[in-house]
Chain A
Amino acid sequence: MSEQVVTQPGGESPAPDEDRRDWAGTWRQITESSGLVVAMAIFAALVIAGLLVILVDPDVQEAAGYFFSRPGDTFAAAWEAVSSVYGAIFQGAVLNFDSSTFAGTIKPFTQTLTMATPLIFAGLGLGIGFRAGMFNIGAQGQLLIGATVGAYIGFAWHLPFPLHLALAVLGTAVGGALWGFIPGILKAKTGAHEVIVTIMLNYVALNLVAYLLTLEAFLPPGQTNPKSPIVDESAQYPLLLGSQFNLHWGFILALLCAWGVWWLMERSTLGFEFRAAGANARAARTAGMNVTKTTILVMVVAGALAGLAGSAPVLGTEKALTDQTAGSLGFDAITVALLGRSRPLGTVFAAILFGGLQAAGPTLQTVAGLRPDIVYVIQALVVLFIAAPPLVRTMFRLPVPAHEKEVAA
């Protein structure tokens, strides 16, 4: 975590024993850090999800039928069920030791990074919004409109490689920015609540794209299936590790964006204004900042990043626009931004964690026979626990920090 705040043990009388006091201080720093809360939240979520798996496992149910004669069987079956699920998640998301080649062994992790790419982009955008006091639920719509513009440039225009890709990527950002501009200006000019506006715009975008995918201009000749032509090779992200892996340069672009967002929020005047408007809009206005302009700009930047998330499927993995392009990426990105505490580095790690859970989906299905729905449960529980540090502290009997920090977002 980028923001492990060291709490100052102010006002305490110095302990006589120098050595003891250091130990106590270090222990307090560890137990009070938000990093530990995050780790414990993930742990708690995995435990609860494990209990669910045990609950529905047929072998466990069978063994539980004769629990009192041979209780060991029940626990063995329960252990079997849980370990097969978490084994499958590890095998699908991190390393596959069943594979004989090195490439096959590390392929799951590259798949995790591929899945994390759109989540990083969109999570960064949402994080900016959260820190500026805007709860933007519209990443889904912004992503979809961005993907539409980018895909259209990708398959309708025919240009040489670097230029075509650059324009298509730019197109995704512009499309998303446009879709973010609408709630921004409505909020700034009419006070319309961005949560409602962005939810509504998600559905407008979804229907708009569904409509576009019935037009001849968006379909391959003679097709009615709602899937656009494949984008030109000159507009696709080149593969990062060769043709054996799906990981593409979009991931590197996402990391660059994370650095850019860090610079914007922590080092630039504009980022300072964003944060000031989020912390206290009235104070920011009194200080002479143009909060109207800031509100619009925040949403434009957030929208552009969400739009860039759309470039990962249409220019990287699926290489075409469908009505399912957005999937649940926009909503997953909300959980990513919340878990990452709206900070760029945290967002990258959170995106990799949730990208890994999603990458494990197919393996879960084949190895453990479970549909990937359990992944949603884990994801939701993690964020729920993270959002309520007091709950996690109570569960694990951690001490309450001397200075209770407000939860970001």
Chain B
Amino acid sequence: MSAPAIEPSALAHPEPGEPVIKRRSWKAPIALGVIAVASLVIFGLLSPSGSQTTFVFARSTDFFTLPTLTVSSRGAAIVLSVLALLLAAYSAALAANYRKPGIWLPVVYGMAIIGSLLTWAGAGRDNTSIQFTGLLTSSLFLAVPLVFGALAGTICERSGIVNIAIEGQLLAGAFLAALVGSMAGNAYVGLIAAPIAGAAVGAILAVFATRYWVDQIVVGVVLNLLVLGLTGFFFNSIMKTNPELNQALSIPTIDIPLLSKIPVIGPVLFQQNLLVYILYIVVIVLQIMLFKSRWGLRVRAVGEHPKAADTVGIKVNRTRVRNTILGGAVAGLGGAFFTVASGLAFGNNMSAGKGYIALAAMILGRWSPRGALAAALLFGFADALRVQLGIIGSDIPSEFLAMTPYLATLFAVAGLVGHSRAPAAENIPYKK
């Protein structure tokens, strides 16, 4: 750290040869502390005393009925905010000793802050209550396209191809799922068709990136425009004149026996449709494959140091092409969410920017399937919260809630929530 003109990114990642200088990182404790104080003041101290908040957990299908929880709004918000403040203090104490807290701390902290936000939002509304289970169910459901999209991004970027075209892949998947499903008269057939559309978009990206060495971000942006134009064109020409080609089909909800009857967890995790169950499998399989298998090691080698990978006999461009097509297929499958999994017919620009949020989830999740899932769930929760607060009528403008995923990503990439580092060979064509 002696050279005066060191690249900012180099500061964060010392070269292997350099001595590692331990530094106290105060960013996280300070951020946690500021938010906790804000929560204490706004949700706790400033809210009127005497009002109550009701939480509903139970569903009629549960084994046994959980009681509704009614708390004093102000008291509960203060208790939860103080808990968050204590966690921030603990993280500061750790930072003073050059240590970092485990993953449990931000999780518990987040729950405390969200709990205090919810008690504040539901305060003093006698006829409405916070539907806690419903909130979580819709969080998971709204996160589905984001998880698939973020996984697609992870698969591609780990091999060194930037996939900005997630948006287009989602939209193509949604379109073909509706079209093929309607032609076959079976929503499940649409579910099979969706990944094919995504893979096709991925294949174009792969060809332009590996064969013509075009800047991958440029191709991605243009592919999004192309898919938007093509789907819009076919929607307005073929689908408008032949409504039987664009029906509102729906894959049914499947209750997993026994598991679906557990209170809270059952309705949230095990009363979903097939696409959500596929999601669980894909996340688990990819997490293991990417970090524990030979395939995963090779993919990551190609993404980090293609020349070294080539030297030991890994086909760099072949790996990249395969991964980009596979990633496209995964995103395409996620696109089925918009049509057959939601029970809707195709509509113009259905994905509405979800692909870009998925990209953000991928970065926030640090290019791992597990992280992508967590980040996407966070975004899904923000979205579900926006809907729920809209129903009970909150004082927070919904636009600000809609902004949270983007702001969270901004903070993440700016290094406030730990460093996120992209695969090294990303967006660099491999030329022998």
Partner-B contacts on A (CB < 8 A): 52, 56, 58, 135, 137, 186, 188-193, 195-197, 199-201, 203-204, 207-208, 210-211, 214, 285, 331, 334-335, 338, 370-371, 373-381, 383-384, 387-388, 390-391, 407, 409
Contact = CB atoms under 8 A, between A and B. Distances in A.
B221 A371 contact: no
A210 B407 CA distance: 16
A129 B236 CA distance: 36
B212 A380 contact: no
A211 B208 contact: no
A204 B403 contact: yes
A286 B296 CA distance: 38
B237 A56 contact: yes
A201 B410 contact: yes
Interface in B212-242: 212, 214-215, 217-219, 221-223, 225-226, 228-230, 232-238, 241
B400 A207 contact: yes
Interface of B: 5, 7-9, 12, 164, 208, 212, 214-215, 217-219, 221-223, 225-226, 228-230, 232-238, 241, 353, 356-357, 359-360, 363, 397, 399-400, 402-403, 406-407, 409-410, 413-415, 422
Contacts of A201: 406, 410
A382 B221 CA distance: 13
Contacts of A407: 214-215
B356 A203 contact: yes
Contact of A211 (B218, B225, B229, B400): B400
Contacts of A381: 226
Would you list the 6 A-B pairs with minimal beta carbon distance, nearest first? A376-B229, A373-B232, A191-B9, A380-B226, A211-B399, A377-B229
A199 B217 contact: no
B404 to A, nearest CB: 10
A334 B360 contact: no
A126 B226 CA distance: 20
A383 B360 CA distance: 25
Given A52-B233, A211-B397, A338-B218, 8 more contacts: A56-B234, A200-B409, A203-B403, A210-B399, A331-B221, A370-B236, A390-B212, A407-B214
The residue in A195, A196, A377, A383 that gathers the most chain B C-beta atoms within 10 A of its C-beta is A196
A280 B198 CA distance: 36
Contact of B226 (A193, A285, A371, A377): A377
B222 A335 contact: yes
18 contacts: A52-B230, A135-B217, A186-B413, A186-B414, A190-B414, A191-B7, A193-B413, A200-B410, A207-B399, A208-B399, A371-B237, A373-B228, A373-B229, A377-B226, A378-B229, A384-B222, A384-B223, A409-B218
Contact of B403 (A188, A208, A383, A409): A208
Contacts of B356: 199, 203
Contacts of A200: 360, 406-407, 409-410, 413
A383 B222 contact: yes
Nearest to A371: B236
A351 to B, nearest CB: 16
B243 to A, nearest CB: 15
A376 B228 contact: yes
Contact of A380 (B164, B225, B400): B225
Given A56-B238, A58-B241, A196-B409, A376 B225 contact: yes
A376 B403 contact: no
Given A384-B208, A391-B212, A192 B415 contact: yes
A208 B410 CA distance: 15
A387 B214 contact: yes
Contacts of A376: 225-226, 228-229, 232-233
Q: Quick one: which of B9, B215, B226, B237 has the most chain A CB within 10 A?
A: B237
Nearest to A52: B233
